[in-house]
Structure 1
Amino acid sequence: MSQSEQSEVQTGLERIRVAEVPIDHHHYIVLSLLNAWMETVAAPMASGVVLDYGCGGQPYRRLLECYATRYIGADVAAAAGIKPDVVLTPGKPAPLPDASIDTILSTQVLEHVYDFKSYLADCSRLLRPGGKMILSAPMHWRHHETPYDYWRFTRFGLWKSIEDSGFGILDFRPCGGFFAMLGQAFMDYRNEKGKRGQFTASIINRISLWLDGRLADTDDTLGWMCIVEKL
């Protein structure tokens, strides 16, 4: 672990710690889409020992603990107020035994792993045969957590990378469409420029999701939400 990464572990990074945020939050669009999928589709697929591999603020811990016998949070850097159960060394496999995990959660992690194919291979190593991985990754997103922000994924690139890593795909869907992507991009720009305005934010979020539900176009999407199984 580098000196800067050790410092991050000591001080704690500010990261999302809850899945549900108010309508005027600048990440409401993406988090509402992810949370709806997690609650209704992904979390009920979890079972046994769950590894949150790149756990950040662990926003889905409470949800997954309802389905798990044990929850393990693992990350290279601690989020503010969160202590990982396992501290990872960048570029190294997770210090856990082969075939010891039933379910892996990996939400918005892959873009921060330079050698993401080795990360996927380690997920395969950790999972028992038939084990599941709940995965989300971005296609369109503003630079964040720089300089540790390396990748964006098309449908075809992510799908092939998953299959090449020894997984079968059970569920693969876009995280919103063009209007969700457009609204979220505007909200991120607005937030970074210091423009708050709760009423305006809530209107933008509502209209973006309303249009997205009625004029579906997922060739442009915020990202991908997947459930895969170790073959």
Structure 2
Amino acid sequence: MKNRDHWKPTKFDWKSGRLKGARDPVELGVGSRLVADLVAAQYQSHLKTNARGRLLDLGCGKVPLYSAYAPYVSEIVCVDWAPGEHIDLQCDLSQPLPFDSNRFDTIILSDVLEHIPEPQLLWSEMTRVLAPAGKIIMNVPFYYLVHEHPHDYYRYTNFALERFVKMNEMTLVKMSAIGGIVEIIADLFAKIVTRLPLIGRALAMLIQTLAWHFHKTRLGAKVAAISSQHFPLGYFVIAARKP
């Protein structure tokens, strides 16, 4: 990773020992804090036991997850289509990856797959460059606004993600829905009201805070688990190449 000493938090940050969405509106829109917190919680919970060795961060932008995975890996290679302070290699992810086979032990793909016009090619290439027993750790949105216009191509169900894993002869380690109907409603409400003058941002922060605290209760977890079968906000996935 280039200029590692100059890295600073962007989309995600640590607060009171928890990785969460940034509270700087320049780095993360006020209406996106809840979904960022939910995604951050998944990475914080699972990177320690799944990230290792040589890590490839694909479509990484400003490398927002760097502080979350850096303690567990020995090497970091950052790839994105555009130049950036920490980008080691500019690369079109809809084309073959310019790396040798079996090169990496871990691949991070955070909020990227929906922007890839040929996702099966990327899955094949990720599988190729992974070392035996290496892992892909990723998340994708589902009930989420169209973003990064015009390069927002797909929304994936758990069945589609499982199919990618199976087609590439990998093992599904984890598949978790990120939020359910309550989180979706809170996310949509926050994104709409944040545009209101004077009270919009305060209302957006309030509804997301309430939804987060409800999500952490036993009832909230149950509602999310049941409703996410039909109304997932997104998915978190870990897939492993066979040894």
TM bracket (short chain): 0.7 to 0.9
Paired residues of 1:51 and 1:74 also in contact (CA < 8 A):
yes
SS in structure 2 of the partner of residue 66 of structure 1: helix
Cα shift readout 1:170-202 (whole Å, capped 9, x = no counterpart): 111001111111111222233467777443222
Which of residues 118, 127, 133 is equivalent to 1:130? Answer: 133
Paired residues of 1:42 and 1:227 also in contact (CA < 8 A):
no
- Following the alignment from structure 1 to structure 2, what is the Cα–Cα distance between the partners of residues 112 and 181? 21
- Following the alignment from structure 1 to structure 2, what is the Cα–Cα distance between the partners of residues 200 and 229? 41
Shift in Å at residue 69 of structure 1? 0.3
The 1:145/1:185 distance shift into structure 2, 3 A limit, reads: same
Which of residues 200, 204, 211 is equivalent to 1:201? Answer: 204
Which of residues 55, 58, 71 is equivalent to 1:53? Answer: 58
The 1:192/1:221 distance shift into structure 2, 3 A limit, reads: farther
* TM-score scaled by length of structure 2: 0.81
Question: Which residue of structure 1 aligns with residue 110 of structure 2?
Answer: 107
Which of residues 164, 167, 187 is equivalent to 1:164? Answer: 167
Question: Which residue of structure 2 aligns with residue 36 of structure 1?
Answer: 41
- Following the alignment from structure 1 to structure 2, what is the Cα–Cα distance between the partners of residues 152 and 68? 30
Which of residues 211, 215, 238 is equivalent to 1:227? Answer: 238
* TM-score scaled by length of structure 1: 0.85
Which of residues 140, 144, 162 is equivalent to 1:141? Answer: 144
Which structure would you say has the larger RCO, counting Cα contacts within 8 Å and 6 or more residues apart?
Answer: 1
Amino acid at match of 2:130: L
- Following the alignment from structure 1 to structure 2, what is the Cα–Cα distance between the partners of residues 162 and 185? 30
Structure 1 gap ranges (5+): 1-15
Report the more deviating stretch, 90-99 or 56-65: 90-99
Cα shift readout 1:89-119 (whole Å, capped 9, x = no counterpart): 3531221111100000001100000000100
Cα shift readout 1:7-32 (whole Å, capped 9, x = no counterpart): xxxxxxxxx54343239932111111
The reply on whether 1:185 has 2:192 as its aligned counterpart is no
SS in structure 2 of the partner of residue 26 of structure 1: helix
The 1:208/1:195 distance shift into structure 2, 3 A limit, reads: farther
